Amino acid sequence: MRDHAGSDLIAMTAARLVDMLAAREVSTGELLDALEARVAAVDGRINALPTLCFDRARTQAVPEGAPLAGLPVAIKDLTEVAGVRTTWGSPIHADHVSIASDHVAERVEARGGVIYAKTNTPEFGAGAQTFNEVFGPTRNPYDLTKSVAGSSGGSAAALKSGCAWLAQGSDLGGSLRNPASFCGVVGLRPSPFRVPSGPGGDPFNPLSVDGPMARTVEDCALFLDALSGSDPREAVSLPAPERPFREWARAAKAPLRVAVSLDLGLSPVEPVVRETVAAAARRFEAMGATVEEACPDLAGAHEAFQTLRALGFARAHGDRLRNHRDLLKPEVIWNTEKGLALTGEEIARALTLRAGIVARARDFFAEWDVLVCPATCVTPFAVETRWPTSCDGVRFETYIDWLAVVYGVTLTACPALSLPGGFTAEGLPIGVQLVGGPRGEGPLLGAAAALEAALALDPSPIDPR
């Protein structure tokens, strides 16, 4: 083993570091030292990692032959990690220290990931804009006056600022894809049941899933390999695939049939975002793919998502609303009250609408290999803005409406990935959303890697500016 400069390690990909760890060319201790120095140097400006646990990380045993081989991993502050402060971004739980880890955090450690930090999130993940009353806002490394979106905003900012190689995210209505887009990193929303997400939640009908975030497609695939696999404690869980996801990414195979939609028929989209999505589709065409405008029929998506999201808030936060209303932010109060007021008829209708969307998406992907569409309808906005109230001259009625191009995909139950696609004239990142067929993470990662290579954008971490 030879000494490595901390800055050199920070710039390396997770895939390379895992290979180096396995070959004993670098140690977990060296990586933790490099991260601790980097966090001390830059995180004060972006506030991505408000809770650090380097001492715990240095005592963590790494199972022999584990796929992550001792690579440090950052975990979102909606996920409990034993012995570490977990706040959910809420004053109600500001001093909570977890007794036990959630299943996804246990999976990370069992697969050789070393947890060293918690990433910032909005209160209970609500709002797709990362700020809370416990830790304050997270700022965009590309422009400290801009938002990182959310709710996995701390994870995305940590990755791009060099404070993480891999970071766990979660995604209900774009909570993993939006921040990946705003920060110029890769975020994958897996199929439901691909990654263990217990305990709690709705084990049979999850809208929210845990997933990997990284700087490159291969790194994201590597992390998905580590996260995937059945868990007997879950009501439903998928086995790990025979072919590792990292192999799919390394093969970088362009799809043959590519559908493109600039708005999914759901939302206004800023012109520069539409242009970026169209340019990405042309890249696939240059690789020999058949590219046409098309998208699944997402009729009923707005009603279904608003109702099912509200139902989830009623289940998760009904008691908090009754006992701690004064400590909840307005968006959580509104969404929980909406859920508590739902009728059985409204819930039944939403479930029927979603079933129709899932069935039509299945039929759509029998014809198309990949769908290319926006990862968000807007570009990074001011960090003080709670949520965008309009886009391209169209006003939004609720704090959820601006998320339609991602929550519409959530309802299909198909895997979706946000890939850096380009930049605004001001140098702010724009992500492109790629959607694969049901349980088709492998081909999706291969297509994403092919597009990543064609775009040739620099995935290296940046200094906040």
Catalytic pick among 90, 101, 147, 151: 151
Could you tell me the sign of the dihedral formed by the alpha carbons of 226, 149, 452, 459, in that order? negative
| Active-site residue flag, 76 | yes
Q: Are 186 and 429 in contact (CB under 8 A)?
A: no
Quick check: helix, strand or coil at residue 226? helix
| Active-site residue flag, 160 | no
User: Which residues, including other chains, have CB under 8 Å from residue 254's CB and lie 6 or more apart?
Assistant: 284, 287, 288, 289, 447, 450, 451
Distance CA 167, CA 169 (A): 6
Torsion of CA 224, 27, 153, 108, to 10 degrees: 40
Strand duo 72-76 + 51-52: pairing = unpaired
DSSP annotation of 241: P
Q: Are 76 and 121 in contact (CB under 8 A)?
A: yes
**Residue 57 phi, psi dihedral angles, 5° rounding:** -60, -35
Quick check: helix, strand or coil at residue 268? coil
| Active-site residue flag, 90 | no
Q: Are 261 and 293 in contact (CB under 8 A)?
A: yes
Distance CA 136, CA 121 (A): 9
Catalytic pick among 90, 175, 261, 418: 175
Distance CA 37, CA 50 (A): 15
User: Which residues, including other chains, have CB under 8 Å from residue 79's CB and lie 6 or more apart?
Assistant: 86, 101, 102, 104, 105, 118, 168, 170, 210
Q: Are 168 and 213 in contact (CB under 8 A)?
A: yes
Element (H, E) at 280: helix 271-286
Q: Are 126 and 329 in contact (CB under 8 A)?
A: yes
Element (H, E) at 107: helix 103-110
DSSP annotation of 238: P
Distance CA 265, CA 242 (A): 36
Which are the catalytic amino acids? 76, 151, 175
